[in-house]
Structure 1
């Protein structure tokens, strides 16, 4: 099935919708111009391929708190968060964007992953008062992105959340949720979760208020620039939260037990995880962008895997990649035949301060207890 916005002039569908129930526009004729719109103005991105779930019921927050990596049992009304569902070994299985509103907890997740998450939640209900529902056919996610996003909402007569993860109810159903900025940090992101039948009406209202249509390619370019991972593209079956920025945005390190917590706590306490997420700059010689999952090579040695690869309107061809901790910032890398270099901002420190401090303490203890000549 296709989103209603895919019928708008210039729309070109995403080539590989994976298992998404709804196809959306990759771009509307000019991907680089659409990127600049998100970076400098306000663009409306159709992200209605995301799966949407709702969990009503009196036990919903404490139940989700016990199943996920986030502290949710006291999540306030009209607020949101992010959370992960992990395997018993601590590998990331689902990434959820959470919203609590009016007695229901909402979650939107990666396209094509909603059915598996819903099945997992159903198995974990037991005798609790919860009713997980998969509602992708009824609800859609739109994202208003750019430094002028709040101005557009105001001009359209729609509520504008004042802070990150704050939520405002929409008068005709659904809600507006403010997320963390992307790109260089100036592109605000405001998600609108609306009835699927209202997507065209809501879009027209925002476009009349000063937004412009932009495809998901533009959104992805700014997301990669901001080093925001996507489940399944920038992660694999071995990924643990400690390897990604989700450790700070979707994991609460002081909460009680949840599946996979042992791995997260152990790696956090001991030091560096086995891999780290970096931004790669590619030479851009090839016309074809490398597919997610391709190996990152240092000579003939595989040192990582590439995730999302995009053409950025200022940075050229860039990609997210998970690489081994031992890979240095100046390593000569190749990805799919293209020369690649790690962004200087992702250089790993030569000395791990935590481990260095521990070694100093050990030396001090040994010095104090060593027999004197």
Structure 2
């Protein structure tokens, strides 16, 4: 693993080529774990947010590992080949996730292996004819389901046309010694700009130690609301049915007049009050400077915010991803408190 090139000299051109399915992006910062054994699907299903028991050979899914309080600890992009479950993950989670999974095997018939050194992960939009690795006659390709609400999932966004509706992203595993010289390359900044514009959350950027799936609209692709029990399920159900997520992901359209782009981690303010943090920024070839930010749920969606930068505060208009009233889907009326005075 390493750090993927940010660009090859033409960031906007690389974005256009990547979006059009004319180039690929090498994701050198990704890792690959495998789970083998007859219990692999039922076992991971019991631990994580997605329904995996019905996964067929070649099928893709996305699932989250939560802590007992429902906060996100890991995100996994999974492909099954009928004998092995392949986990495509962010490289920063490689060691911690492998160790945790190994500890949770108990007497079940599963084995964990780290295959990161054997493969390179290549991102693309559509099938470009890459020399994809094959396992048990199944190409090792993960197809992102972000374009629509996955079975058992839920979308909080009320956008008439979700910007992820045309998202046909995939990640392919290729052997480390594969010759990719015939494929045009885009840098990681190209993928990041397209991802931000599609409102697509990512573990290594949007998740902190407080994140729950609802805040990111990640229940759209990674949470099955009617599957069996798993760690953190109580919080998922309670917030979805009765409560509201404390924060919400928002797309910010940044004032580009100063030519500055804030960094991830920059404070987002409303007046004198800090209301959130930028998680990722990009210069998009059509939208201009944009950012994803996590802000407090109660911030009025019509307010113009300010983002801290090296050149001072940058004005930022909100585009709502998760509405301020997201959650409470069960519509259970609030009961008056005992002893409350009626007026």
TM-score of Structure 1 vs Structure 2, range by shorter chain: 0.7 to 0.9
Give matches, 1:1-373, under 5 Å: 21-145=1-125, 149-150=126-127, 152-153=128-129, 169=134, 175-180=140-145, 185-186=165-166, 188-198=168-178, 201=179, 203-205=180-182, 207=183, 212-336=184-308, 337-343=313-319, 345-346=320-321, 348=323, 358-359=332-333
Report the CA distance shift for 1:88/1:25 in structure 2 as closer, same or farther (over 3 A).
same
Number of residue pairs matched? 318
Identify unmatched segments of 5+ residues in structure 1. 1-20, 160-167, 364-373
The TM-score normalised by the length of structure 1 is: 0.78
Higher relative contact order (CA 8 A, sep 6+): 2
Report the CA distance shift for 1:38/1:184 in structure 2 as closer, same or farther (over 3 A).
farther
Which moved further from structure 2: 34-43 or 86-95?
34-43
Q: Distance in 1 between matches of 2:329 and 2:227?
A: 25
Q: Distance in 2 between matches of 1:314 and 1:358?
A: 43
Bigger Rg over Cα = 1
Deviations along 1:287-326, one digit per CA (max 9) or x if unpaired, are 5532322221111112112111111111111011111121
Shift of 1:66: 1.1
Shift of 1:135: 1.4
Report the CA distance shift for 1:213/1:274 in structure 2 as closer, same or farther (over 3 A).
same
Identify unmatched segments of 5+ residues in structure 2. 148-162, 337-343
Shift of 1:41: 4.3
Cα RMSD after superposing both structures: 2.8
The TM-score normalised by the length of structure 2 is: 0.84
Shift of 1:49: 1.7
Deviations along 1:114-138, one digit per CA (max 9) or x if unpaired, are 1110010011111111111111111
Deviations along 1:48-89, one digit per CA (max 9) or x if unpaired, are 320110111111111111111111122111101000011111
Report the CA distance shift for 1:102/1:197 in structure 2 as closer, same or farther (over 3 A).
farther
Report the CA distance shift for 1:353/1:142 in structure 2 as closer, same or farther (over 3 A).
closer
Q: Which has the higher helix share?
A: 1
Q: Distance in 2 between matches of 1:295 and 1:217?
A: 22
Report the CA distance shift for 1:81/1:41 in structure 2 as closer, same or farther (over 3 A).
closer
CA contact (8 A) 1:329 1:347 kept: no
SS in 2 for 1:243: helix
Which moved further from structure 2: 277-286 or 23-32?
277-286
Q: Distance in 1 between matches of 2:68 and 2:235?
A: 9
Deviations along 1:183-203, one digit per CA (max 9) or x if unpaired, are 6643522321122222xx1x2
Q: Distance in 2 between matches of 1:171 and 1:346?
A: 40
Q: Distance in 2 between matches of 1:352 and 1:89?
A: 19
Report the CA distance shift for 1:65/1:358 in structure 2 as closer, same or farther (over 3 A).
closer
SS in 2 for 1:114: helix
Deviations along 1:32-60, one digit per CA (max 9) or x if unpaired, are 11111123342211013201101111111
CA contact (8 A) 1:328 1:347 kept: no
